[in-house]
Every structure is written in structure tokens, then in C-alpha cells.
Amino acid sequence: MLCIDILQDLLADDYIVEVEKSKYKLHMQGKELIGTFHRKSNGKNSFIPEEGGDPIFVAERNSSHAMNNDKVRIMCFAKRKNKEKEGEVVEILERANDTFVGTLEVTKSYAFLVTENRTLANDIFIPKEKLKGGKTGDKAIVKVMEWPDKAKNPIGQVIDILGRAGDNTTEMHAILAEFGLPYIYPKAVEKAADKISDVIPEDEIAKREDFRHITTFTIDPKDAKDFDDALSIRPLKEGLWEVGVHIADVTHYVKEGGMIDKEGEKRATSVYLVDRTIPMLPERLSNYICSLRPYEEKLTFSVIFDINEKGEIKKSRIVHTVIKSDRRFTYEEAQHTIETGEGDFKEEILTMDKIAKALREKRFAQGAINFDRYEVKFEIDEKGKPINVYFKESKDANKLVEEFMLLANRTVAEKIGKVPKGKKAKVLPYRIHDLPDPEKLDNLSQFIARFGYKIRTSGSKMDVSKSINHLLDDVHGKKEENLIETVSIRAMQKARYSVHNIGHYGLAFEYYTHFTSPIRRYPDMMVHRLVTKYMDGGRSVSENKYEDLCDHCSNMEQTAASAERASIKYKQVEFMMDKIGQTYDGVISGVTEWGLYVELNENKCEGMIPIRDLDDDYYEFDEKNYCLRGRRKNRVYSLGDAITIKVARANLEKKQLDFALVE
């Protein structure tokens, strides 16, 4: 027995490893590993091995000035009894990021960039001659040139001055730069776009199906300029309609491999910040030539359906077309017609609404998940200052457009992806969405049980998604609705692009792609090109090349979403700046080891109560149950609890609101 105990101790302290049951060998200490370095401004750096395994602690003195997300080689130290694994960086293999955004502090002979980046504990030293005219209080982008062994601070040079800190445009550009996104459009690419003719030659029209005399309209947000999609409708016979989903034919104008295409591919998506759009394509294309503006002839790529009012599709085809929109509706105008039965093209809109509702019902019957979230929007004055918060809800007019876009995307994916048994489908970027993570589903199930709800965590895809829908219906209108939706969304995987189709779980589609927004998404441009090529009898393209492009587009989509969130956060903090000391009711929207996040009911702004301010007890974080629990008095703060706070601090630089608890 003693022998076994000793072996267990040696195993626990990493001196030996168990190669197979009851067989051990000496663990070669000092072994080298390759992986990713994670820098923390509090000095608690960690290293994540490439081949998997637990994180390894790297003290600042052993970090060799590695930066956050650098690929490094480390040497592991011999493990000390009951201490965490530790190592030191012996080589930096690949720098992840060498540019930082911050505010300049300039003295007579040198300067520093003070960063708000939580991963860089040290300010960046800038020699006077590398300042590019920057002054104290300017926001700047700085590239780290070197970090000498003995130096406390990295040394950098200014790449660009963004403007004065606190100025709205400067701050929005700083957010983009922080995420490595472009904030200006290259002049050369704009010039190339300016050369593109807006005249449609007659021989081009002759090659296409002509929809110019069929009732066609666009429905978009009131501030939209890039109209990607239009809808046409005409009766075929009693109860049967021809509905056309017409999408801007962007790739007719943007040639593969050209300057505009390369810039679009790099950006991969338009970015929608609170007060501006950073377009994927030059504005001449996105807002003028390709935009399906009313009363103008436009080239489109269309999916045409023969469909009845029950949403049953009798026939569909994908064709290149030419259209002329008769009317540009805002969502509000189309909604008014749906609600009152009055307005321009009322028959057409009411018919399409009826078909869309039938399609939607079918989709939910198949097990699609119904996340109906509202968006928080700011009303902004001409200086970019937020003066009001409002909530944007998805109404019938939004859902009408959404259903036909989903139908078009699905139809295109099926046309290419669905092939007879034994045949291989040609390569296409799909929009895929995996099943929820089983562990996260279990957590969700345990969490909602506290509110008296249940979901299925096993069974068929359909069983699980139907029970999630049932849950979402049950919480509708209840005070915990938003919270349970948020936790449910966290249990879901993220949708992404891939040439390997596994279907779209959230929509309950076996085949789905993105075809309907080529002005603002690069995958849609790829799909347009490939569908055109395959319709002309072309051969399949390289799977690997397109999978890499899919990965790039998925990553850029995530980055753009993070920048969008950061811009909303900035406006929230700015909006609350003059409300310090005011009291609000809210709900606990996040629980972490460093504090409680609270979302205010009135305006959905989110702030944090730091754990150090909960000073009536020692609180421990219970990850499983999303709560903080007091050790002595057993008081519990849980996700979803109602809570009253007062606004304590608003730090614009850090995009951070601090709240204090009101007992």
C-alpha cells in the first residue's frame, strides 16, 4: 500500500507519468513545448500547449517579453509539490500582433503610448523622431519595433495619428484599429471603382431574363443605402404566384482577382458601428451601381419561385436577370400596410406576408429555433453624442423579407449540394451551424430548472430544438425572458462558413448558404461566382482553397461583431457619463470571478459591480450555477436576479461602467 501511495504522490507532482494502467515511467522534466502565450496585465501570464493539456504559468520575469497570442517555445520547470506547473519562454516563434492603439503622452525628449489594452502591462516607449507629429492627447496606432532584453518597455514608432482622444470619429477609428480592421478606404481601389460604367449595354440585357415590367420593390431600414435585395411578385393562376428574390449582381462588376475583389476579400464583410458603416466594397458600387435603387435598371442574380399561399414551392429556378424597382419601402411603411391593409402595392405586400408566414410556420414545424431578439440602438446627434436609447424589434415586415432570403439561400445551396447518391457535389461555401454542445445543454437544463423550466438534452435534433422552442415560448413576456434567451444562445454553437456541409441546426435546414447579401459579405460573392460557373457547366474548384477562404470570412465576421459590440459599449458609457450617482433597477446579466455584470432595465446599458466592492463577506464564484456565494452568510447573487444599483464610475477610455450595490 505504501508503495502505491508513493507512486500516487509522484504522479500528482508530475515526477512520473502513467503510460498504461499500473505502468509508470520517469517524466523527463525540462521538456520543451510549443504553443500560445497569453499575456495578462496583472502578470499572471499563461501558456497553452499546442498539443492540448493544462495551461502552464509563466511569470513575467520568464516571459522573454512575449506578447499576447504569440506562438512560443517554452521550457517546463520541474514541478514543485502542490504548486501549479510553471515554465519559461525560450523562443518567440511567431508574433501575433505588433500594433497597438492608445493615447500619446509626449515630453520634451521622448514619448509613451498609454494603451488601454488589457494584455499589455507596459506602456510603449517612442523615440522623439518616430512620433509622426503626434502630440499629448492624440490617439495613435503604434508598431512595436523591438523589446530589448533589459528594457522594461517595448520600443515603438507611430504608424498613424487617428485624432484627438474623445473626438467621436477618432474613437470609432480607434475601435476599428484595435481589432485590426481598416478605417479608411484605399484611394486606388476607389479610383478603380470610379472607372466602372453604370450604363448597362443592350447585349447584356439580351442575355438575361427581363423582370423590368413586373412589380418589384425593396424593403430596408430607413437609413439604408446599400439595397442588396428586391422582391417581385405576379399572379400565375388562381392561388399560384411567381415570387422573385432578386440580388444585386455584384460579381458582374467585380472581377475575380482584380484590385476591388482583393480588397473585398481581405475585408470579407462590411462593419456596422453605432454611427457609421465601413463598407466591404467602394461606395460607388455599394451605394450606387449595385444598389437596387428605385426607378433604375439594375443587373441581378435571382431565385424565382412558383409558390402558393401555403408556402408550397411548385418550381424554382436560378437565373441572371435585369429589374427595375417600382418602390423603396422602409420596414415601417411595409409594416403599416401589413397592419392596416392600406398603402402602395397593398395586394402584393399582403400576399407576400401571407406566404412568408406559411414558410415560417413550416420552418418551426421542422425544428428551427426561434430567437427573437431585440437590438439596442442609439439616437445620435450630429457630433456623434448619444441622446437617446431605443429598441429595435423584428416585426412582420422584417420577417417577410427574412423568410424569402432564407428560402433563396436554402434553394441555392440545395441546387448545388443535393446530388444523386454516389455523385460528389461540387465545392460551395455553406453556412453551417453545429448541434449545441451537450455539456452546455446540460448546464442550461440545470440553470433553467431553478426557474421551474425543463428542456430535452438528448434525443433527436428535432426533439432538442422543439424543446428549446417550447422553453422560449414559455419564457416569453416573463421577467427572466432575456436572461434565459441569453443563456440558451450561449449553449448554441456559432454559425460559420465551410465547404464541408453539416447543415444548419438553428434554421433546421440540411443545405444552407449565403447568397443574398453580396454587397456586404464576401462569401455571397464567392457563391455567386461558383453558381454562375457551375450553371455554365464549369468544373468544381479546389476544396482547400475555398475552405481557407471560408475560415478567413468566419474570422472576419467574428472580428467585425466584436468591433460592433465595442462601439455600442462606448456609446453606452458615453450615454451614462452624466448619470453618475443615479439609481437604476437592473438584472444580473453575467457572473465572473471578478464581479457581477448588471444590465439596466430602462436602457439595457451594462456595467459591473467589482467583487472587491461586495465587502460584507468573502464571495466565491460558482461557475456551474452562474452565481457568487458568500462564504459566511451564504448570500447568493445569481444570474437573472433583480438588483438595484447606482452608477459609480464611467470610464470612456476603458469602455467600462462601474456600478455600486444599493441595499
Distance CA 223, CA 218 (A): 13
**8: confidence class by pLDDT, cuts 50, 70, 90:** confident
Q: Is the separation of the CB atoms in 214 and 504 below 8 Å?
A: no
- Pairing between β-strand 583-592 and β-strand 271-273 as defined by DSSP bridges: unpaired
Say yes or no to pLDDT of 4 above 90: no
Structure confidence by residue, pLDDT tens digits, 90-101: 988 888 778 899
- Pairing between β-strand 209-210 and β-strand 313-324 as defined by DSSP bridges: parallel
Q: Of 72-76, 167-171, 338-342, 497-501, give the lowest mean pLDDT range.
A: 72-76
Q: Which phi and psi angles does 313 have, rounded to 5°?
A: -90, 120
Q: What was the pLDDT predicted at 507?
A: 94
User: Exposed (0-12), middle (13-18) or buried (19+): which is 625, by Cβ within 10 Å?
Assistant: middle
Report the candidate in 479, 476, 478, 458 with the shortest Cα–Cα distance to residue 467. Answer: 458
Structure confidence by residue, pLDDT tens digits, 256-267: 999 999 999 999
Structure confidence by residue, pLDDT tens digits, 199-222: 999 999 999 999 999 999 999 999
Pick the most confident of 140-149, 344-353, 439-448: 344-353
20 or 506, greater pLDDT: 506
User: Which set of grid coordinates corresponds to residue 469?
Assistant: 422552442
Within 10 angstroms of residue 622's Cβ, the number of other Cβ atoms is: 13
SS3 label, residue 293: coil
**437: confidence class by pLDDT, cuts 50, 70, 90:** confident
Q: What was the pLDDT predicted at 362?
A: 96
Q: What was the pLDDT predicted at 491?
A: 85
Task: Show the DSSP H helices in 179-298 as ranges.
Answer: 187-194, 202-206, 250-253, 259-267, 283
Say yes or no to pLDDT of 19 above 70: no
Q: What was the pLDDT predicted at 82?
A: 67
SS3 label, residue 86: strand
Look up cell 468544381; give the residue: 540
Q: What was the pLDDT predicted at 113?
A: 93
SS3 label, residue 91: strand
Q: What is the mean pLDDT of residues 234-245?
A: 97
Q: What is the 3-state secondary structure (H, E, C) of 338-367?
A: HHHCCCCCHHHHHHHHHHHHHHHHHHHHCC
Q: Is the separation of the CB atoms in 657 and 608 below 8 Å?
A: yes
SS3 label, residue 80: coil
Ramachandran bin of 7, using left for φ above 0, alpha for ψ from -120 to 50, beta for the remaining angles: alpha
Q: Is the separation of the CB atoms in 228 and 517 below 8 Å?
A: yes
**27: confidence class by pLDDT, cuts 50, 70, 90:** low
**325: confidence class by pLDDT, cuts 50, 70, 90:** very high
**14: confidence class by pLDDT, cuts 50, 70, 90:** low
- Pairing between β-strand 216-220 and β-strand 327-330 as defined by DSSP bridges: parallel
Q: What was the pLDDT predicted at 272?
A: 95
End-to-end CA distance of the chain: 56
**84: confidence class by pLDDT, cuts 50, 70, 90:** confident
Q: Is the separation of the CB atoms in 292 and 326 below 8 Å?
A: no
Say yes or no to pLDDT of 28 above 60: no
- Pairing between β-strand 32-38 and β-strand 45-49 as defined by DSSP bridges: antiparallel
Name the DSSP class of 605.
-
Distance CA 71, CA 33 (A): 11
Say yes or no to pLDDT of 80 above 70: no
Q: What is the mean pLDDT of residues 374-391?
A: 88
Look up cell 415560417; give the residue: 360
Say yes or no to pLDDT of 549 above 80: yes
Say yes or no to pLDDT of 18 above 90: no
Q: Is the separation of the CB atoms in 105 and 114 below 8 Å?
A: yes
**CA distance readout (Å), 406 to 305, 314, 515, 535, 568:** 13, 17, 9, 21, 28
Q: What was the pLDDT predicted at 65?
A: 83
Query: Percent of the chain beyond pLDDT 90?
Result: 65
**CA distance readout (Å), 541 to 259, 263, 387, 424, 428:** 21, 21, 51, 13, 9
Q: Is the separation of the CB atoms in 136 and 106 below 8 Å?
A: yes
183 or 65, greater pLDDT: 183
Q: What was the pLDDT predicted at 138?
A: 95
Distance CA 349, CA 360 (A): 16
Structure confidence by residue, pLDDT tens digits, 46-76: 899 888 778 889 988 888 888 888 899 998 8
The chain-wide mean pLDDT, for the chain, equals 91
Name the DSSP class of 493.
P
Distance from chain centroid for Cα 26:
46
Distance from chain centroid for Cα 534:
31
Q: At what angle do helices 346-365 and 331-340 cross, to 10 degrees?
A: 90
Ramachandran bin of 302, using left for φ above 0, alpha for ψ from -120 to 50, beta for the remaining angles: beta
Ramachandran bin of 343, using left for φ above 0, alpha for ψ from -120 to 50, beta for the remaining angles: left
Task: Show the DSSP H helices in 237-301 as ranges.
Answer: 250-253, 259-267, 283
Q: What was the pLDDT predicted at 430?
A: 98
User: Which set of grid coordinates corresponds to residue 12?
Assistant: 500528482
What is the rounded radius of gyration, in angstroms, for the C-alpha atoms of the chain?
28
Q: Is the separation of the CB atoms in 256 and 529 below 8 Å?
A: yes
**253: confidence class by pLDDT, cuts 50, 70, 90:** very high
316 or 15, greater pLDDT: 316
Say yes or no to pLDDT of 531 above 60: yes
Q: What is the mean pLDDT of residues 334-356?
A: 97
Name the DSSP class of 612.
G
Distance CA 89, CA 149 (A): 13
Q: What was the pLDDT predicted at 86?
A: 87
Structure confidence by residue, pLDDT tens digits, 596-650: 999 999 999 999 999 999 988 999 998 877 889 999 999 999 888 889 999 999 9
Q: What is the mean pLDDT of residues 518-547?
A: 98
Look up cell 456609446; give the residue: 571
Q: Is the separation of the CB atoms in 369 and 441 below 8 Å?
A: no
Q: What was the pLDDT predicted at 69?
A: 85
pTM: predicted TM-score of the whole model, two decimal places: 0.88
Look up cell 495551461; give the residue: 55
**CA distance readout (Å), 528 to 250, 301, 303, 521, 653:** 8, 8, 12, 11, 42
Say yes or no to pLDDT of 35 above 70: yes
Q: Which phi and psi angles does 154 have, rounded to 5°?
A: -65, 155
Q: What was the pLDDT predicted at 533?
A: 98
